[in-house]
Amino acid sequence: MNTQKGRVNRHRTFQTLVPAAPARFIEVYAKLTEYNGAGPASICGRGCSFFGEPLGRPFGGGQRTTRHMNIAKKPLWTEASAAPGTIGKSVIDCIGNTPLLRLERVGPNYPNVEFYGKAEWFNPGGSVKDRPALEMIREAESSGQLKPGQTILDATSGNTGIAYAMIAAALGYRVKLCLPASASEERKKILKAFGAELVFTPGDEGSDGAILRAREIIAAEPGKYFYPDQYGNPGNWRAHYKTTANEIWEQTAGRITHFIAGLGTSGTFVGVTRRLKELNPAIRCISLQPDASFHGLEGWKHMATAIVPGIYDAKLADANLEVGTEEAYRLVKRAAREEGLLLSPSAAAALEGCFQVAASLGPDERAVIVTIFPDSGTKYLSERFWDEV
């Protein structure tokens, strides 16, 4: 078949798949297929779609490659919540399906271990907390707990508050948040940008002080507010059971041997662990905590000295490890300069926990270790540790 004839056949294939496609799109598609005859999948490694067809599978019947196998199974994002004929997605539709990043250079001492981090800053609110915030709000709407005109009130160390504020703005609710004064300036500015009303609590009391203040406010005016209570709401861990865990399983093709995550509300660890253990009971699930009650890992809890979240289940972890703030700060810089990843201190602390687990393995033991990177370092650029460590 000559080139011109092949181009015509691909035109016809595309017209059969998308009969209403404008001529200009057909022309563009034909140009794209000239790269190797396999359709635009050959030049797009992203989990996007072209007229509803995952790009991992070529329109023209070209062969799938190993690199695109996971993408080819289904589109990374769907338009399930959009009305027929709607173009694009709402900000809420973009929550979840975050990339799993492979770390190439920071773990050379462990040649038999593969390290992966779930890059949760790809959520529209910039953190893993978009998932539980949406789940708790949607469950409350369905049950009638959250009514039009009510204000969403909760305690937060920052990221869940940002998620509440973003989602509430998109859905038409007001938000009031109790926040430790020690939260980073970037977090405070983002919350104000989304229109959240902030009630600051003493920084040295951490999230516990914010929790106590939120309870006081809701007790004084119970009808005015919907109080999700992220630390005690099962919707928190259910969000990760439904989404995060299944994404990890699919993205590793079931090869994951260890899951590691820090404890704050504990929702991420509890939800992911429960689901992964169902998928493969042999997966080792390790929780992480700060090594002291006074620490710099925003969002994490030192369970021995903190108000223990109602959703926390200590029996789930196969092991619990401690991570120091200074180690996390140092690793923030290493990840930026050796991997090109701008991690938050809590994300770097999770990676440090991965290294602790890797160090405990036998010399011939192979492992696929996955952790959660809750957010990026962009909300912490004003912190002093950049100059001190």
Kindly list the catalytic residues. 129, 346
Q: Give the Cα separation of 102 and 100 in Å (integer).
A: 7
Helical residues (DSSP H) of the chain, grouped into ranges: 3-17, 23-33, 69-73, 130-143, 159-171, 185-193, 206-220, 234-239, 245-251, 267-279, 325-338, 345-359, 385-388
**Residue 363 burial by CB count (10 A; 0-12/13-18/19+): exposed, middle or buried?**
exposed
Helices H / strands E in the chain, number of each: 13, 12
Question: 42: which DSSP letter?
Answer: G
Strand partners, 319: 286
User: Distance between CA 322 and CA 156 in Å, rounded?
Assistant: 22
Closest to 260 (Cα-Cα) out of 340, 336, 129, 373: 373
- Pairing type for strands 319-323 and 367-373 reads unpaired
